[in-house]
Structure 1
Amino acid sequence: MSPTPQQRRDARHQLGASSSTPSGRRGPSRGSKKPITVDAIVGTAFGIVETEGYEALTMRRVATALETGSSSLYAHVVNKEDLDELLIGRLCSEIVLPTPDPAAWQQQIMSVCAQLRDQYLRYPGISQAAFAAAPSNLETLRVSEGMLAILLAGGVEPQTAAWAIDSLTLYVNAYSLEFSRATKGGRDWVVSRDEMLGRFAALPDTFPHTKRYAAELTAGTVHDRFDFTLHLMIGGLR
């Protein structure tokens, strides 16, 4: 008897085995297309997110793109949440983890966070999938293991390090989602710094601090603010 999708998912988590075993198609294209595999499903899902955004990603949409029926997908992927986990795991597999260095641990943890951010920004809104993803995918766990090793090497207490990883990844996820939404459909509607300065200058005197510090409030790029927040979070860990 062939393994169920849940059994295949469990095998991926326990052994890191590739669940790319092909199966015959079901539905209108049976026998006329290449067999469906987990890799094909994941690759197609990434293509949909890249061109249409994460909101467009559904199991039905993936099945349509593969010219098959939804039942063909469920032979390999348990559900949409399982697909989300596979996507985040695939992105995490691209993260390069350094050998922990006690003298450079802060720079190292910031580098890992920046890599994760850049992976998410390749696919608009995909960090939404990471919010609910359980830390069970082996590639996702590899990244959290690497982050934990870096923090421990830097002298951070184990409990503090454990909660710091949660806080840092939540911030990276939220930042990436906000950035994707702000740039959705182009930047034509995004207010420029000059326009913001003009708006602040036109405020009534009941906003004295906003008017006086308008330059500071609008300074820097979004990635400057990302780095600032990470420095703020990491700087207090010890």
Structure 2
Amino acid sequence: MSPTPQERRAARHQLDTGASAPAARRGPSGGRKKPITVDAIIGTAFGIVASEGYEALTMRRVATALETGPSSLYAHVVNKEDLDELLIGRLCAEIELPEPDPATWRRQIISVCTQLRDQYLRFPGISRAAFAAAPSNLDTLRVAEGMLAILLAGGIEPQAAAWAVDSLALYVNAYSLEVSLADRRLDRKDDEWVVSRDELLRRFAALPDTFPRTKRYAAELTAGTVDDRFDFTLGLMIGGLPGARVDH
């Protein structure tokens, strides 16, 4: 008897093989198309997110793209949440983790966060899949393990390091989602909601005098790129960790 999707999911978490037996196609086209596999499902899902955004990703949409029915997908993937986990795990598998170095730990942890951000930004809105998900995929856990090792090498207290991994991942997820949403609005030419810095400065200047600080510091409030703000926020988060060693 073939293993159930739940059994395959458990095996992935134990062995991280990513492999599964192909599902037989049914219907008149059954013998003429490529078999359904986990890799085929993941690749198709990434393609949908890249071209249409994460909000377009459903099991039915993936099945349609593969010219099959949803039941063929469920032979390999338990549900949409399982697919989300596979997608985030595949992105995490591409993150390069350094050997923890007490002398450069800050730069190392920022590098890992930046790599994760860049992976998410390849696929609009995909960081949503990482929210409220308990870490169980081995590739995802590998990144968390690596981040924890870097923070501990930096002298961070274990409890603070554990919570910092969660906080940093949450910030990267939220940042990536916000940038993706803004980019999608720009693609739709939704200028009503995504405005230039010049327009923001004009709006701030037109505020009533009950906003004196916003008017006075409008330049500071609108300065920098999104990447500048990303780096600044990571610096704030890392700099406040107890027990941190000085980075050289």
**Deviation, structure 1 residue 209:** 0.4
Summarize deviations over 1:120-155 as a string: whole Å, max 9, x none: 000000000000322000000000000000000000
- Is the counterpart of residue 221 in structure 1 residue 225 in structure 2? yes
* Distance in 2 of aligned mates of 1:28 and 1:65: 17
The answer for unaligned runs of 5 or more in structure 1 is none
* Distance in 2 of aligned mates of 1:35 and 1:200: 57
Summarize deviations over 1:153-195 as a string: whole Å, max 9, x none: 0000111000000000000000000110011043542211111
* Distance in 1 of aligned mates of 2:155 and 2:93: 26
Which residue of the partner structure matches residue 236 of structure 2? 232
| Amino acid aligned to 1:206 | T
Whether the 8 Å contact between 1:5 and 1:78 is mirrored in structure 2 is: yes
Which residue of the partner structure matches residue 172 of structure 1? 172
SS of structure 1 residue aligned to 2:94:
coil
* Distance in 1 of aligned mates of 2:48 and 2:201: 38
**Deviation, structure 1 residue 20:** 3.5
- Is the counterpart of residue 59 in structure 1 residue 46 in structure 2? no
Equivalences, count: 238
Percent of counterpart pairs with the same letter? 81
Whether the 8 Å contact between 1:28 and 1:68 is mirrored in structure 2 is: no
Which residue of the partner structure matches residue 3 of structure 1? 3
Which residue of the partner structure matches residue 147 of structure 1? 147
Which residue of the partner structure matches residue 131 of structure 1? 131
| Structure-2 change in CA distance of 1:28 and 1:9 (3 Å) | farther
1:10-89 → structure 2 map (5 Å cutoff)? 10-27=10-27, 29-89=29-89
Q: Which runs of 4+ in 1 moved over 4 A?
A: none
Which residue of the partner structure matches residue 211 of structure 1? 215
Whether the 8 Å contact between 1:28 and 1:69 is mirrored in structure 2 is: no
TM-score norm. by structure 1 comes to 0.97
**Deviation, structure 1 residue 23:** 2.1
| Amino acid aligned to 1:209 | R
| Amino acid aligned to 2:35 | P
The answer for unaligned runs of 5 or more in structure 2 is 243-248
SS of structure 2 residue aligned to 1:184:
helix
TM-score norm. by structure 2 comes to 0.94
SS of structure 1 residue aligned to 2:224:
coil
| Structure-2 change in CA distance of 1:27 and 1:62 (3 Å) | farther
**Deviation, structure 1 residue 27:** 4.8
**Deviation, structure 1 residue 204:** 1.0
* Distance in 2 of aligned mates of 1:10 and 1:92: 19
**Deviation, structure 1 residue 17:** 1.7
- What is the aligned-residue RMSD (CA, Å)? 1.1
* Distance in 1 of aligned mates of 2:73 and 2:211: 56
SS of structure 1 residue aligned to 2:184:
coil
**Deviation, structure 1 residue 28:** 5.8
Whether the 8 Å contact between 2:63 and 2:73 is mirrored in structure 1 is: yes
